[in-house]
């Protein structure tokens, strides 16, 4: 037995595979999010298509999804936050970071995904990439001809600013 790719530390069959196989339905948006990540890791592209909200399936490219899932190594999932999305809700949001290796490069994909529950079943609706916040340097600006703040005794332009 192998552990589940979603990071739950449970066996795959006792965790996400019960949803991917259709044996059970996810009871929350977060459970569906974890199952979708595990489906990418296991190239379960039919589940990815079926768990997509029916109104968004017409433009879903199953073959492109399969190629991407197969060409990537899935390294981990972090659930950052959730809003609603429980068994008594009809809508929910899951913010997550998926880490994967593609063409030898490790990538982190950060997204806020929306989910809807219809007739007791949760569906992925869409997602928006979370853009990293720009950080502005708060310290005093060092002039090019001033001493370098690193303490080397050189001018900033000949040291850290060069």
What tens digit of pLDDT does each residue of 30-42 get? Answer: 999 999 999 999 9
Domain membership flag for residue 146: no
Residue 51 — very low, low, confident or very high, per pLDDT cuts 50/70/90?
Answer: very high
Residue 156 — very low, low, confident or very high, per pLDDT cuts 50/70/90?
Answer: confident
List residues bridging with 106 in a β-sheet. Answer: 101
> Which tokens hold the place of 98?
């998926």
Q: Provide the number of structural domains found in the chain.
A: 1
pLDDT at 87 over 80: yes
Domain residue limits at 105: 12-131
pLDDT at 104 over 80: yes
- In this predicted model, what pLDDT tens digit does every residue of 121-147 receive, in sequence order? 999 999 999 988 877 777 778 888 888
Domain membership flag for residue 113: yes
Domain membership flag for residue 94: yes
Q: Which DSSP category does 10 fall into?
A: S
Domain membership flag for residue 149: no
> How would you list the strands of the sheet with 91-102, edge to edge?
72-84, 91-102, 105-118, 121-129
Domain membership flag for residue 90: yes
Residue 155 — very low, low, confident or very high, per pLDDT cuts 50/70/90?
Answer: confident
Query: Is the Cβ–Cβ distance between 94 and 113 less than 8 Å?
Result: yes
CATH code, domain with 126: 3.10.450.50
Among 71-75, 140-144, 145-149, 157-161, name the most confident range.
Answer: 71-75
CA-to-CA separations, 148 to 137, 142, 157, 159, in angstroms, rounded: 16, 8, 8, 7
Domain membership flag for residue 156: no
pLDDT at 88 over 90: yes
Domain membership flag for residue 154: no
pTM (2 d.p.): 0.81
Domain membership flag for residue 4: no
Rg (CA), the chain: 22
């Amino acid at each position: 037995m192998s552990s589940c790719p979603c990071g739950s530390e449970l066996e795959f069959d006792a965790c996400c595979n019960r949803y991917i196989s259709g044996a059970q339905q996810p009871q929350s948006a977060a459970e569906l999010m974890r199952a979708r990540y595990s489906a990418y890791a296991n190239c379960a592209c039919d589940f990815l298509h079926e768990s997509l909200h029916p109104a968004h399936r017409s433009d879903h490219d199953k073959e492109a999804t399969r190629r991407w899932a197969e060409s990537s190594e899935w390294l981990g999932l972090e659930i950052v936050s959730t809003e609603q999305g429980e068994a008594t809700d009809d809508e929910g949001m899951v913010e997550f970071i998926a880490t994967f290796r593609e063409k030898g490069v490790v990538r982190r994909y950060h997204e806020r995904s929306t989910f809807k529950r219809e007739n007791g079943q949760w569906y992925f609706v869409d997602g928006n990439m979370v853009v990293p916040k720009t950080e502005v340097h708060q310290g005093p600006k060092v002039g090019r001809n001033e001493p370098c703040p690193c303490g080397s005794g050189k001018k900033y332009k000949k040291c850290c600013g060069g």
